[in-house]
Amino acid sequence: MFFWFVCYLVVVWLISASDESCPELPSVENGIIVIKEVEGQILGTCLCIKGYHLVGEKTLFCNASVEWNAPVPTCHLGHCPDPVLVNGEPSSLGPVNVSDKITFKCNEDYILKGSNWSQCLDDHTWMPPLPVCKSRDCGPPGSPAHGYFEGRDFNSGSTITYHCEDKYHLVGTRNQQCVDGEWSSALPICELIQEAPKPIPQTAFEKALFAFQENKELCKAIENFVQRLKENDLTMEELKYSLEKKKAELEAKMLSWHCN
């Protein structure tokens, strides 16, 4: 004769003050559900026996709506969940026993991220956590605001070059390479180029000159300029000196235009 050892232990505490009660939970093969009341809420915690692991929600609760918040979990053969490694291969596919150690290998063109081994612990978990196999190729890189990249190949070993729009300059790494699934540097940024501030007029004369340059209408500009000179008692000496300085832009204009 062959006997399955099945534990059908369900402990139920009902809320005595409540008219309504939570529906009784079905028993769990190879596990138990421990039910207790915590702050007016009924909690059910499912535990699997050695050699089995839980699939589903470990803890259920039943509240005023008098329903369990999730379906009853089940206990499956294998002390820890069967190891899964997408694009790779664990040394055992399960079921596993407690304290079993397994190792991992990734397929070609994939790189292992995490530990290349793991052990099934008493509490049904894998430690270190299961690794993942990541492609050696990179995804399309991002572009910084006001910038873009040049390059069409994002495979392992390929390079791209970042550029910024006009009036922006690049801060960071311009040329980047795809190395084991990741771009070699962080995304650069495109910074606005700060234009040199306009010189602030100093003397009354410079103010007059500045006003002249800012004026779009030449005749008005000259009129205004002469007016300002008079107002400030500026001498021709000063004017001469400044005309030397601003010859190209000022004198040329004054001579080549005729005012009515």
Ligand X SMILES: *[C@@H]1O[C@H](CO)[C@@H](O)[C@H](O)[C@H]1NC(C)=O
Measure the CA angle with vertex 23, ends 20 and 25; round to 5°: 150
Among 27-35, 92-100, 174-182, 245-253, the segment contacting ligand X (CB under 6 A): 92-100
For ligand X, how many residues bind (rule: CB under 6 A)?
Answer: 10
Determine the Cα–Cα distance for residues 172 and 50; give it in Å rounded to an integer: 54
Q: Provide the 3-class DSSP secondary structure of residue 60.
A: strand
Q: Does 63 bind ligand X (CB under 6 A)?
A: yes
Q: Which residues pair with 53 in a beta bridge?
A: 76
Q: Provide the 3-class DSSP secondary structure of residue 48.
A: strand
Q: Does 96 bind ligand X (CB under 6 A)?
A: yes
CB nearer ligand X, residue 96 or residue 133: 96
109-148: which residues touch ligand X (CB under 6 A)? 116
Strand 132-135 with 126-127, pairing: unpaired
- With CB under 6 A as the contact rule, the residue among 1, 17, 38, 64 that binds ligand X is 64
218-247: which residues touch ligand X (CB under 6 A)? none
Among 59-67, 169-177, 218-226, 230-238, the segment contacting ligand X (CB under 6 A): 59-67
Q: Does 185 bind ligand X (CB under 6 A)?
A: no
Strand 59-62 with 41-48, pairing: antiparallel
What phi and psi values does residue 22 have, to the nearest 5 degrees?
Answer: -75, 145
- With CB under 6 A as the contact rule, the residue among 100, 149, 162, 190 that binds ligand X is 100
Q: Which residues pair with 101 in a beta bridge?
A: 119
Residues that bind ligand X (CB under 6 A): 63-65, 69, 92, 96-97, 100, 103, 116
